[in-house]
Amino acid sequence: MTAKVYTVENRKGGVGKTTTAVTLAVGLARRLYEDGGGNVLVIDMDPQGDAARGLGLDPNGRCVSNVLLSDGSVDVLRANVMAADRGGDGGPSRPNLYVMPASDKLSEAKEDILTEFALAAARSMRSRRSGNERHLVDVLDEKLGLAKQAFSYIIMDCPPTLDLLQQAVHQYADYAIVPVKVDFHGASATGRHTSNILQDQAEGIDITIAAIVPTFVNAQHNLTKSMMRELSRVYGKQVIAKTIPNTVRVAEAPASGGRTILEYMPDSPAARAYQDLVDRIYAQG
């Protein structure tokens, strides 16, 4: 088994990336459980660490930075992955969902990684080696490679700026999901949402845009209709997922015991829209 890896990313903040990442993960875990097997891992790549909190979890020192600064061993990986199942304490049952949290230590780890690879490159130049150098773009494959063998899906919640880890994240992943807030500032600059992905594609990294997810949508607004037409023009209708309505229910969900909208109000329009995204991704196999 090799996991399918999805990033959830956008260079603009406040578009619903973490909400989309954890809701998608909960939905995929449910589908796998219903179909008889498979696990889902959320990897938080944002130092703010909202993915675990949004699911009502206390990381208790676990952080993806510990893995990135390690040798990538299975023991370190296990020590920094936590179960998201809260059925035992009266919370949502998620028997096959796991989280690798993040914390502000991730910002420091990025600098340490950059220093490590810069020193390795300098040593390679001095010894005139060729073909054996370690490349920064491969760092996640080195450190998180074992995770791909243990899970069916990996969902990466990315910060607005991936900076030095951008290419490494795209090298590790198979697909990108891009939430786009459908307002003037969010959708009028459509090219910027995916420019980093397209740039890495041009440099030979094999990552595909799986879905553009319109978020905070007020369907009756004329501006919304115009922005949706623009998104369809730029990305193509087949890539545009069902719109996520602008509703307070989505924001209430994590505040109501660390739930997603699928768990908090499963029959709401927002939950149905997110379930449609889950079904779309699950149908890709």
74-82 CB contacts, 8 Å cutoff, 24+ apart: 74/146, 77/144, 77/146, 77/147, 81/41, 81/147, 82/52, 82/57
Residues 120-164 have pLDDT tens digits of 656 555 544 444 345 778 889 989 999 999 999 999 999 988 777
21-35 tens-digit pLDDT:
999 999 999 999 999
Check residue 130 and give its pLDDT.
Answer: 42
Q: What is the pLDDT of residue 221?
A: 82
Residue 41, classed as helix, strand or coil, is: strand
Output the pLDDT for position 12: 86
pTM: 0.92
3-state secondary structure of 198: helix
Which pLDDT score, from 0 to 100, does residue 132 have?
Answer: 39
> What is the length of the chain?
285
Ordered domains of the chain (ranges, CATH) = 4-283 (3.40.50.300)
Angle at 109 between CA 104 and CA 110, to 5 degrees: 105
Q: Bigger pLDDT: 48 or 188?
A: 48
**Percentage of residues in the chain having pLDDT higher than 90:** 65
Residue type, position 182, single letter:
V
